[in-house]
Amino acid sequence: MKKMKLPLWLKNFLLFLSILGPGLITASADNDAPGIATYSMVGSNYGYNFLWLILVITVGEVVILEMAARMGAVTGKGTADLIREKFGVKMTTFAMFCLLIANLGTTVAEFAGIASAGELFGISKYVTVPILALFMGLLILRGNYKIIEKILIALSLAALSYIATVFIIKPDWGVILHDTIRPQIQLSRDQIISMLAVIGTTITPWAIFYLQASVADKGVSMEGYKDTRIDVTFGSAWGNVISACIIIVSAATLFKAGIRVEDAKDAAMALAPLAGGASTVLFAVGLLGASLLSVSVLPLSTTYAVCEAFGFERGLNRSFRDAPIFYGSFIGIIVLSVLIVLIPGMPLFQMMILSQTLNAVLLPVILALVLKLANDRAVMGNYRNSKVTNVLAIAITFLIVFVTAVLLFEPLIELI
Amino acid sequence: MIYLSKLLDQKVWDAFGHVVGKLDDLLVDNTDQTMPPITAIGIKDGSPQPKLIDAKDIATLWPSITLNVDISKLDLFQPVGHELYLKQRALDQQIVDTEGKRLVRVNDLQIARKNNRFYLTGVDVGGTGLLRRLGLENLAKSVAKLLKKRWKTHVIPWEDVASIEHDDPLRLKVSQDRLVQMEPADIASILDDLDHHTSKALLQGFTDEQLADTLEEASAEVQQAVISALQPERAADVLEEMDPDEAADLLADMDDQVSEQLLKLMEDDDEEDVRILLRYPEDSSGGIMTTEFASVPGNFTVEQALHHLRTNEEAKDDEFMFYVYLLDQNKRLQGVISLRDLVTSPLNQQLSNWFDDDTVIVNPLTPQEEAAYLVAKYNLMAVPVIEPESNVMLGIVTVDDALDTVLPTAWKKKMPRFAGR
């Protein structure tokens, strides 16, 4: 074969790109529909005061996803497999219940994203949601959606427009730095819910399951694990750069103008400096692409995890008769999500954000199990967690538990 | 029937009613038998390691676990190393159901008593086992009664399962012996569902031929994982046993240096076969053809041809023999005779009777779809592949390989196990 002469930097860059894989995909999913909704809301309501949280979560996300990836590489098994094999039926049932609720919430949020995007184009949700749900469902069941997947990835690249917008609006970086280091937070109910939503949309239970399964499926071994670690670290960092850009843009445009995001139309205005009158279209396209992309992964990966844990027959190559629970729960998740979104008068945007709060509240359950597994000598052998990893992961778990506790007990505290 | 889940954490009593501790685990040995005997029980009594007591001390397991000796006279058990710890290593793990040909999860284990000894008899893989573990068995039974549904447990006899642990050579051997009784395609589909460490370990113990048959049916990922895990010499031996077109597909997906190394390690004629195939695109007739086909010189009589096919070494290797191809000394195709015609014709008849210029042929670059179309249109079992300039016959595209585009043999090859991969 002819060897092309490439400059060294280009060669290194291409090598770097070839490493990227599941980690990047997983972390990009931070910026799915509920993600965009949450970051827009947080930016428009609290300005730059939540940026510090993004920094903290980036560290947390890298640490937690790295654990999941490492478990996948060492054991070659899925998270649900390991939970079942280590903790037995009762704990597995509890963990799968939490996962199911969290993922159902997120799936509802994705369909709410589709509904919002449709409404920006002036199409009723009663038209867009059932049609697209049916379309995606059939596509996934046919198991061959590689082309559609590429189109969806391209559509969701619209989120990059937030980076472009940051350069156009030229925010005051001094203020941003100041607010990041010395944020003004009052632990009000709304702020706590928002904090949890930001955590829950960035570090999700399903990302842990999905990443570990992808790494295990790729057959990554510990010799090739270094690349996976780079992939995960870079992917998380990149996903959160975009998250931060969404917050900065929303803060510099909407928050400044005193607009509080209530629905997709408000959030879309943040892109006006870049796209002018077309900002609604740009926002809607991005939202739709991101939502559909997540819909193509989320219900199926949830179904796989649950069936794996309980040993139900599973896989798209099985017939409906052989794997009734697999297909039944897959269709069930989609139908239930669609029905919830179609309830008349549902506040779509609020629903997207609250689903992510729910994610965060359920996350510690999964994190505790993952931490236990990643420290188990019988499971991980010589690749157990380092002290640093444990300290960071436990810290982020406690942060979530603490914030959740404040949320739950705040009404009581106010009574006193 | 006694179930392990009902025994775990129950109190263990000695002959005089003293509590020895709580049941931690059961150990069985000779897992190759239909009903492996329980050889010891593990008891938690507060010490850091569970105490292992010889099974001969057990008086009863159900409804309560009692021993027939005094607490001070327990017979401690020394494990030799290949005992199977039921709770630790079997419960909640995945195993292969060799009858049902699928991967299942152990929800519970069934134990039976015979002649005052206890044996492991079966594996509960059904929903009722799950409900029992959750403590909902009685509730579910009442509901089933109310709905007039039969209460069905799904227990697989131990002889029909293969455990897939890979850290004990002896037990691994038992599993392999049970696995190889299945069809290669079934083994392959189970390998696809297994994690790659386990599938590698299981396949290491297969013979070259078993391994080759299984790999032919396996997905590209499993093929790659397995071949790269083998020693290069062994990998080359396995590749020789595979159909040349399958071996070529596999090598084409590998790193150039590795595939070159493996090719050099293969026997010369096998290497040559694969190299020819590697020259053509994967979805062309040349890429999917097999170079092993039955041929006889065109100047033979029927009798000579039959004799040749019976005695010739190369001819014996041909797995696919619906047609016999008539070649001249330069390996150019002169005609085709079906095996049926050959067998039913008079022995002294000349094969030149079947010479034909209009035989349906393809060239190596003909797309796979077109080969499939020809096979379907002319109701053929195989179509010869002819090099266009020299008219030399290179191989045949068989009907199953041609139809692979329409109906893939390994569904998995086209299906992601996990969405979004």
Report ipTM for this prediction.
0.82
Q: Confirm whether B361 is domain-assigned.
A: yes
One domain, residues B9 and B114: yes
Q: Which residues of A253-267 are buried (b: 16+ CB within 10 A; e: fewer)?
A: bbbeeebebeebebb
Q: Confirm whether B145 is domain-assigned.
A: no
pLDDT tens track for B59-92: 999 889 999 999 888 999 999 888 899 999 899 9
One domain, residues B254 and B366: no
Q: Which of B195, B199, B255 is the mutation pick for testing A, counting most A CBs within 10 A?
A: B195
One domain, residues B11 and B112: yes
pLDDT band at B173 (very low <50, low <70, confident <90, very high): confident
> Which residues in A lie closer than 8 A to residue B93 (C-beta atoms)?
85
Cβ contact, residue pair A89, B104, below 8 Å: no
Give mean pLDDT, residues B319-327. Answer: 86
**B416 Cβ under 8 Å from any chain A Cβ:** yes
Boundary residue ending a domain (B279, B314, B331): B279
Q: Confirm whether B133 is domain-assigned.
A: no
Rounded CA-CA distance B220/B421 in Å is 14
**B92 Cβ under 8 Å from any chain A Cβ:** yes
How many Cα atoms sit within 13 Å of A297 on the Cβ side?
A: 25
Rounded CA-CA distance B127/B115 in Å is 31
One domain, residues B271 and B319: no
What is the per-residue pLDDT for B411? 43
pLDDT above 70 coverage of chain B, percent:
95
- At B254, which CATH number? 1.25.60.10
| Residue (of A361, A358, A370, A408) closest to A109 by Cα position | A358
Whether residue A304 has pLDDT greater than 50: yes
> Which residues in A lie closer than 8 A to residue B221 (C-beta atoms)?
217, 219
**B193 Cβ under 8 Å from any chain A Cβ:** yes
One domain, residues B190 and B242: yes
- Residue B63: is the preceding peptide bond cis (ω within 30°)? yes
Boundary residue ending a domain (B214, B248, B279): B279
* Structural domains in chain B (count): 3
What is the per-residue pLDDT for A143? 67
Q: Which of B106, B196, B411 sits opposite A76 (nearest CB)?
A: B196
Cβ contact, residue pair A76, B197, below 8 Å: yes
At a CB cut-off of 8 Å and minimum separation 6, what does B217 contact? B184, B185, B187, B188, B189, B409, B410
> Which residues in A lie closer than 8 A to residue B108 (C-beta atoms)?
none
Rounded CA-CA distance A347/A55 in Å is 30
User: What is the distance in angstroms between the Cα of A177 and the nearest Cα belonging to chain B?
Assistant: 37
Boundary residue ending a domain (B219, B254, B279): B279
Rounded CA-CA distance B161/A76 in Å is 22
Determine which helix (DSSP H) or strand (DSSP E) holds B325, and give its type and residue range: strand B323-327
Q: Which of A89, A93, A301 sits opposite B419 (nearest CB)?
A: A301
Q: Left, alpha or beta for B312 (phi > 0: left; psi -120 to 50: alpha)?
A: beta
pLDDT tens track for B98-135: 888 888 899 999 999 998 899 999 999 988 899 999 99
One domain, residues B46 and B119: yes
One domain, residues B15 and B68: yes
Whether residue B343 has pLDDT greater than 80: yes
Q: No. of H helices and E strands in chain A?
A: 20, 0
Rounded CA-CA distance A139/A144 in Å is 7
Q: Confirm whether B139 is domain-assigned.
A: no
**Rounded mean pLDDT of chain A?**
89
Q: No. of H helices and E strands in chain B?
A: 18, 19
pLDDT band at A319 (very low <50, low <70, confident <90, very high): confident
3-state secondary structure of B331: coil
- At B378, which CATH number? 3.10.580.10
Rounded CA-CA distance B421/B411 in Å is 16
Q: Confirm whether B332 is domain-assigned.
A: yes
Query: What's the one-letter identity of residue B292?
Result: E
Give mean pLDDT, residues A198-210. Answer: 93
pLDDT above 90 coverage of chain B, percent:
29
Q: Confirm whether B77 is domain-assigned.
A: yes
Q: Confirm whether B141 is domain-assigned.
A: no
User: What is the distance in angstroms between the Cα of A330 and the nearest Cα belonging to chain B?
Assistant: 13
Rounded CA-CA distance B418/B421 in Å is 6
One domain, residues B398 and B311: yes
One domain, residues B343 and B235: no
Whether residue B415 has pLDDT greater than 70: no
Cβ contact, residue pair B421, A214, below 8 Å: yes
One domain, residues B110 and B11: yes
* B131, closest residue in chain A (CA to CA): A89
- Longest Cα–Cα distance of chain A, Å, equals 78
Q: Confirm whether B374 is domain-assigned.
A: yes
Interface of B with A in 130-169 (CB under 8 A): 130, 133-134
Whether residue B409 has pLDDT greater than 80: no
Q: Which two tokens stand for residue A228?
A: 């996976």
One domain, residues B6 and B118: yes
What is the per-residue pLDDT for B412? 38
> Which residues in A lie closer than 8 A to residue B256 (C-beta atoms)?
1
**Rounded mean pLDDT of chain B?**
86
How many Cα atoms sit within 13 Å of A227 on the Cβ side?
A: 15
Rounded CA-CA distance A391/A154 in Å is 38
Q: Which of A24, A298, A317 is the mutation pick for testing B, counting most B CBs within 10 A?
A: A317
- CA distances in angstroms from B113 to B9, B116, B279, listed in the order given: 20, 6, 64
Q: How many CB pairs under 8 A join A and B?
A: 77
One domain, residues B311 and B362: yes
> Which residues in A lie closer than 8 A to residue B421 (C-beta atoms)?
214, 217-218
Domain region containing B20: 2-87+103-123
Q: Which of A25, A143, A301 sits opposite B415 (nearest CB)?
A: A143
Looking only at the bridges linking them, the beta strands covering B65-67 and B11-13 are parallel
Q: Which domains does chain A have, with CATH numbers?
A: 31-214+221-415 (1.20.1740.10)
